[in-house]
Amino acid sequence: MSTVCDQAQDLNGQEFHRLTALFGCPKFVKNASISEYCGDEQTESHMFADITKRRWPCHTAPATWASALFFLDFLGIKMLPDHHQSLLGNLLESLNKVNSIGTRFMQPLKDCEFLSSIKQRSSIPGGTCEFDLPEYNHWLRQPFARRQQDLQGWLNVIRPVCDTVIELLWLIRESVQPVEKTAINGMYQHKIQKRMKRRLLRITLPIDSQLYPEISASQHRFTVRFLEWSNIGHRAIQTEYDVQFQISTC
Three state DSSP letters for 211-247: EEEEEEECCCEEEEEEEECCCCCCCCEECCCCEEEEE
Instruction: Examine residue 68 and state whether it is found in any structural domain, yes or no.
Output: yes
How many domains in the chain?
2
Q: Are residues 195 and 78 in the same domain?
A: no
Nearest residue to 23 via CA among 59, 66, 56: 66
Considering the domain architecture, whether residues 83 and 193 belong to the same structural domain is answered as no
How long is the chain? Answer: 250
Same domain, 87 and 47: yes
| Averaged pLDDT score across all residues of the chain | 81
Together in a domain, 223 and 186: yes
Model pLDDT, residue 79: 47
The answer to whether residue 150 scores a pLDDT higher than 60 is: yes
Domain encompassing residue 186: 179-249
Task: Write the pLDDT tens digit of every residue in 67-108.
Answer: 887 877 776 654 444 555 566 666 667 667 766 777 788 888
Question: 152 and 60, same structural domain?
Answer: yes
Question: For the whole model, what pTM was predicted?
Answer: 0.55
Residue at 220 is within a domain: yes
- Domain co-membership, 68 together with 156: yes
| Amino acid present at 64 | T
Q: What average pLDDT does the segment 185-189 reach?
A: 92
**Same-domain pairing of 146 and 233:** no
pLDDT at 131: 79
